[in-house]
Each structure stands twice: as C-alpha cells, then as structure tokens.
Amino acid sequence: AEHSKTWTYVDGDWHAGNVPLLGPRSHAFWQGSSVFDGARAFEGVMPDIALHCERVNRSAAALLLEPTMAPGTIAELAREGVAKFEPGTALYIRPMYWAEEGGYMGVPPLKESTRFCLSIYETPMPPVTGFTATFSPFRRPSLEVAPTNAKAGCLYPNSGRAIMEAKARGFDNAIMCDMLGNVAETATSNIFLVKDGRVATPVPNGSFLSGITRARVIGLLREAGVEVTETRLMPSDFLEADEVFSTGNYAKVVPVTRIDGRDFQPGPVMARARDLYWEFAHGSA
C-alpha cells in the first residue's frame, strides 16, 4: 500500500500531502470564515469521532457557513483516511469547512454565491504526556464579542499569542481567564482541579470551548462515583489544588505538572480519569 506522510480530502478525493486551496478572493482567507475540529486516531480507536464530526457541522452553522456533508459521512471519510497510514499510527484528524469566492465584497459569507468547502487533513502526531502552564495576561472573549459557539479559526490568534507569551516565560501553555477573572481553560484544552478527592472544573459560560473530552471525562468520573462540580474557579483555587489536569482531543487526559511557581505531581484522580478515558476509548472501537 501507498503510505504518504499526510493526506488531504478535498473536492471528492484524497490527495497526498498539504493541498494549497485559497486565493485572494477566498472569504476564509480574507474574513476568517473557517471552522475546524480535531479528532485523533490511535491503535484501532478514534475516540468520539461521531461527536467531533457533529461539532464541525454545528461550528459551521454558528459561523453562517453551510455544512454540506452529514456528520456520518465525514466520519466515514475520516476512517477512509486513517486506512491510508501504517496500521496503528497515532494521527491527528482535522475536518474543516470554509467559505470560498462569494462574499468577496461583503463581510458575512453570502449563502447565494459562496462555495462552502470541506477538507479533511490527516497527519501523524505523537502522544503527549503532560505540560506546564502559567496564568496568561490574555483573556477569553465572551459570545457577545466573538463567535465562541464555534470552533473557529478566527478565535485562535488569541490562543496563539497567549501561548507565545507563556513560552517566552518558560512555560508550555497558558491558562486563560474570562473577562470577569474566572479561570476558563488553557489556550488549547479544558482544565480540571482536584482538592480532597473531589474534582472541579469551570462552568461553561460561553467564554471557553466546552470540550468533547471534558464532557466525556466528567461523565466517566461521575459514573465511577467521583464527585465532579462545574463551578466558578479563580486562579488561587488552582494554585491551592492537590492535582491539576487537562482534557482535550489532542493530548486527551494529561497532568499539568507546574503552574507558575507551584509544582504538581501527577496524582491518583488524574490517573483514574485517564484510565477511565482509555478504557472507554478502547471499548468503543
């Protein structure tokens, strides 16, 4: 079989590698009308692939784009893509919608004249085991100021500058607060703390992506009898925690090993959540 490093599905076909797609009239390029999702494939499993494909369609609709493919069809294509790699390769799977052409003089993507495009990009990506973080001077916008109900490309320059600022101070990632000063999420994932055996995580208020992995882990922990509350959390709550961990499609469940001046040991509740997640992932293949 032919094994290329990356594959892109676009316009009804798979192409080896990255495919150049945009021109100066592309609405996505000019006005940021692109949405994406991130799923993963590991040995034999694609955890919650159906939910990731449903969310990319919801993200498209939230950004006034037309989702042109059923989530089930996107998932089938994603699976078809995975089969192009060496069996067992850890992959990142990125379905995207964007607006082309139409709306070249208008700010919103115009439904009558716009071509709504879908691509699926798949590339090998090794697993991640944990990271350090710092409280960011940058904040998460609310739904009133940004389309936070979509996993939209246009939200990520804010995450990008937070990560760059954190890296400049020697940390891997940034923990971001909302405009009211409540902890929201990291620049790339959701965040949980453990105190006295109980788990807490910020309550969704439109300021952060309420992740698919987050919901899965909350459900699994509760089923296992662990108390999980969604509540307002301040930076000090995290600095005083026994454990801190993160959830997201990319790294799944991993410990946060340092926040600013405070070190954290990967703890038993994080390990429980991580084991429950992988049990679920292998059971749902």
Q: List residues near ligand PMP by CB under 6 A.
A: 38, 159, 185, 188-190, 208-209, 211-214, 247-249
Nearer to ligand PMP, 8 or 213 (CB): 213
Tokens of 256: 């946060």
Q: Please, what is the minimum distance in Å from the beta carbon of residue 200 to ligand PMP?
A: 17
Q: Which two tokens stand for residue 191?
A: 């965040």
Nearer Cβ to ligand PMP (214/274) = 214
Pick between residue 100 and residue 199 the one whose CB is nearest to ligand PMP: 199
- Which among 21, 10, 5 has a CA at the least distance from the CA of 74? 10
**Residues paired with residue 31 on neighbouring β-strands, in sequence order:** none
Give me the DSSP letters along 75-87: HHHHHHHHTTSPT
Greatest CA separation found in the chain? Answer: 57
Please report, as a single letter, which amino acid is at residue 92. Y
Residue nearest to ligand PMP (CB): 211
Write down the least CB distance from residue 133 to ligand PMP, Å: 13
CB of 208 to ligand PMP, least distance (A): 6
- Smallest gap, in angstroms, from Cβ of residue 160 to ligand PMP? 11
Closer residue to ligand PMP, CB minimum distance, 159 or 201: 159
Euclidean distance between CA atoms 258 and 184, whole angstroms: 17
Rg over alpha carbons for the chain, rounded to the nearest Å, is 19
Closest approach of ligand PMP to the CB of residue 39, in Å: 8
For the chain, give percent helix, strand, coil, nearest 5: 30, 30, 40
- Looking at the Cβ atoms of 4 and 205, the one nearer to ligand PMP is 205
